[in-house]
Amino acid sequence: MEHSLVVTRNNITIFTSDQHWLHPLFELEDFLNRNSILPNELFLRDKIAGKAAACLIVFLGIRRCHIELLSERAIPVFKANGIEFTYDTLVDHIQCRTEDLITDAMSIADAYLFLRKRAGRVQGLAVKLVDVRVQIAGTLIVDHLNLDLGRGEQLIVHGANGTGKTTLLRAILGLTPFEGSIRIGDFVVGGADWKKQRSSIAYVHQESMKSNFPISAGEVVQIGLGTSRMSGTETEYRVELAMRRTGCFHLFRQAYSTLSGGEKQRISLARCLCQNAGVFLLDEPTSFLDQQGKEDLLILLDELSRNEAPTMILVSHELQWIEQLNWTSRELKGGILC
């Protein structure tokens, strides 16, 4: 059987894949990472490549390749990045919707993130709200609200105080009763399996910031592991990994109540990572932060959206700060997202 992708090093085949679309290249990425192989010594043979595949090949660090059927749109990408390439057949474009979605304005890193999300290779889960209504004490807070967020997408919900931003997040969490339907990935919020699945959403809110409970930073992160039963070594590894990822491992033994607002936010995000949640809901994360804390959080959220790429919904009323995040932003007004 002829493979769809073959990679050789010194004329010896080290990797093959029979998958379709961009999956062979993502499999190759895993293979290279797993085996710590330097990509610049490799030669890649692919059946078909368009602009999307070209971006991925460049991102992976491959320097030489042969493509059997090559789209003309891939050529500028290869040329701009100094890739040595040959081909059997050249076509105007290939019939692939993904190729049309990669714009010239996208950097290779942006294109890579976009393709990862499209391939479902991100931590994030899709969030879908259909006709959601929330009423509290007879007052309609959320009115037939619809929202469709793809895997790994980010959304900022802004609006004046009291417009129902927090209520919306609490409805998504299943903490506030609602009418309509909310789906997280394949699960319905409040459905039969929800109890088992609700750890797929991680929540950062401000009440915990004020906690004076005697608990160390490491223990707060460990809360993310919930009811998972694992060995002490595994637990320590997961906590350390999450804390290193958010740059707060040095705070491991410090009392949580003694930390600054910015440090507490890092701990909260490490807890969410430790939870391995697909959706992060962040309620006014800048509330207790000074200017430096806000800038640090900005960088951290940007990094998370590029690497683990959880689906994130952030609620804030600080317009100046949220503009810098460069995420999709919608206003909650009159119970609906405008």
Partner 1 sequence: MLELLSLTPILKGLIVLALAGVTFPITGVYLFRLNLLPLRFMLMHGAILGGAMALALQINPFWTTIAVNLVLVVFMARSSRSMKIDAGQISTFFMVISISLAFIFIYKFNVPAKDTLTLLWGNLFILSWAEVIGVGSFAVLLAGFQFYFRHQLRALFFDREIAYTSGIDEGKLYYAVVFLVAITVALAMKLIGALLLDAILLLPPVIASFHARSLKGMILGSAMWGGIFSIGGFLLSIAIDIPASSSIAALASVVFIVMYLMRRK
Contacts of 100 (CB under 8 A, 6+ apart): none
Report the residue number, 116 or 198, with the smaller CB distance to partner 1: 198
From the list 91, 106, 215, 298, which residue makes contact with partner 1 (rule: CB under 8 A)? 215
From the list 2, 92, 104, 207, which residue makes contact with partner 1 (rule: CB under 8 A)? 207
Strand ranges in 107-193 using DSSP code E only, listed in sequence order:
127-136, 139-149, 154-158, 179-184, 187-188
Segment interacting with partner 1 (CB under 8 A) among 42-50, 104-112, 180-188, 220-228: 220-228
From the list 199, 260, 287, 329, which residue makes contact with partner 1 (rule: CB under 8 A)? 199
Segment interacting with partner 1 (CB under 8 A) among 71-79, 118-126, 206-214, 317-325: 206-214
Segment interacting with partner 1 (CB under 8 A) among 71-79, 159-167, 213-221, 314-322: 213-221
Report the residue number, 156 or 239, with the smaller CB distance to partner 1: 239
181 binds partner 1 (CB under 8 A): no
**Two tokens, residue 94:** 């290939």
**Two tokens, residue 202:** 């991680």
User: What is the Cα 130 distance to its own chain's centre?
Assistant: 22
From the list 33, 95, 211, 328, which residue makes contact with partner 1 (rule: CB under 8 A)? 211
C-alpha dihedral, 84 to 68 to 102 to 306, nearest 10°: -70
Strand ranges in the chain using DSSP code E only, listed in sequence order:
5-9, 12-17, 42-49, 64-71, 84-91, 127-136, 139-149, 154-158, 179-184, 187-188, 201-204, 279-283, 311-316, 328-333, 336-337
Report the residue number, 18 or 213, with the smaller CB distance to partner 1: 213
**Two tokens, residue 62:** 């491959």
196 binds partner 1 (CB under 8 A): yes
Report the residue number, 2 or 207, with the smaller CB distance to partner 1: 207
225-244 residues in contact with partner 1 (CB under 8 A) are: 225-227
Nearest to 145, CA basis, from 173, 126, 172, 184? 172
Ordered strands of the 5-9 beta sheet: 12-17, 5-9, 42-49, 64-71, 84-91
310 binds partner 1 (CB under 8 A): no
Q: Which residues bind partner 1 (CB under 8 A)?
A: 173, 175, 195-196, 198-199, 201-203, 205, 207-208, 211, 213-216, 219-220, 222-227, 255, 271, 275
